Amino acid sequence: MFGRSKAHPAAKIDISSLLIKVDESREQIATLRAERQTVLHAPRPLAEILAALDDWLDDAATNSVDRLRLGQLTRRDMPAGIQLPFSVDRQTAAIDASAACNVLLGLVIAVARPTLRQIIEGQLADMVAARPGLTDAEQAARLAELDRQILTTELTEEHCIRALEAAGVPILRRPDAAPMALLATDGALPAL
Amino acid sequence: MTSHDFSLDQPTERLSVDGIDLAIASRLTALARIRDTHRAATRAADDRMHHARLAAEDVRRRAREGLERHGRNDPQALRQAEELEGQAREWDKGRAAAQAEAEACAASWRDASENLKTAIAFARDASAILPLMLREDR
């Protein structure tokens, strides 16, 4: 089971080199995994964020004007002013001002949208400057490439471990070793 | 006479996943063997630890009995008690060494078990048929 792979010609086993290669592989795996986490948590590109923000600003302004129920101002039996939507909890008598706050925010957007947007865009640009944004497609492609590199390195690590085991030097595998590497045929492992 | 087709129970030897050839049965068997080796080493170290503890207790008991029998002022009894205490301390060292070894072996056993568990779960997800001795492992 731990004999020389038929796919790789017999070679003098250099224990020391194999041990070094195991350590190097493990460092590489740790580095790639850290990079993967960075990519996983990468922000969206600024352009995408602002496009989504513009859609939200449109909806917030429109909805707030709708909530004012301005049609009531045309009625002779209704007060002439604008009323914000407050509600009262019937059980606790607590006043819920959340709807009113949302309407106010929508009116601020309607009145001062360019200034507000400029402020938000400036803040977001500073935030994403240090962390490049990725589109969904870019993120997926980068993650797939990193996963491929991680697996290749794990397969190399596994080859070294099996070679060491065959030479009578048992090496503990990482408990989080990839199952594909653990189960790979000897021939599927990259040449050392 | 009805012939029974046991092909469904035959462990999966080879499988290809994402272009990588997997030797399911033989690799799972190898990983199980590694796990069992570490388990046996852990139990052997546990046994040595237990044996050393019992031996130290026995030696100290003999020392106490000697002193009780001959009196605590008897020079020969005192000498023998000191000698036995020295032996007990050697057994204590042996117990500590065995305990450290048992802890290391237990960690190896845990890691090897985790490797096997991960591999079995992967093989199951790939609809592989496991070797009979591993079908109860999870």
What ipTM score was computed for the predicted complex, to two decimals?
0.80
Give the integer Cα–Cα distance in Å for A155 and A163: 12
pLDDT at residue B130 is higher than 80: yes
Instruction: Please enumerate in sequence order all residues whose Cβ is within 8 A of that of A36, keeping only pairs 6 or more positions apart, or say none.
Output: A143, A146, A147, A150
Confidence bin at B22 (pLDDT 50/70/90): very high
Mean pLDDT of chain B: 91
Residue B131 with chain A: CB contacts under 8 Å? none
Segment B69-96 mean pLDDT: 93
Which residues of chain B neighbour A173 with C-beta distances below 8 Å? 111-112, 115
Alpha-carbon distance values, A22 to A19, A72, A153, A182, B34 (Å): 5, 77, 10, 14, 18
End-to-end CA distance of chain A: 18
> Each residue of A53-84: pLDDT tens digit?
999 999 999 999 988 888 888 888 887 788 88
Give the single-character DSSP code of A13.
Answer: -
Instruction: State both tokens at A144.
Output: 């797939």
DSSP B12-53: P-EEEETTEEEEHHHHHHHHHHHHHHHHHHHHHHHHHHHHHH
- The answer to pTM > 0.95 is no
A77 touches chain B (CB under 8 A): no
Q: Chain B partners of A2 at a C-beta cutoff of 8 Å?
A: 30
Query: Which secondary-structure segment (H or E) carries A157?
Result: helix A136-166
Q: Cα angle vertex B39, ends B34, B44, to 5°?
A: 125
Q: Which residue has the tokens 């914000």?
A: A84
CA distance B74 to B88: 21
* B42 contact partners, CB below 8 Å, separation of at least 6: B102, B105, B106, B108, B109
**B124 interface with A at CB cutoff 8 Å:** no
Q: Is A183 on the interface with B (CB under 8 A)?
A: yes
For chain A, residues with pLDDT lower than 70 are: 1-13
- Token pair in block for residue A19: 């041990």
Are B111 and A172 a contacting pair at CB < 8 A?
Answer: yes
Name the pairing type of β-strands B14-17 and B20-23.
antiparallel
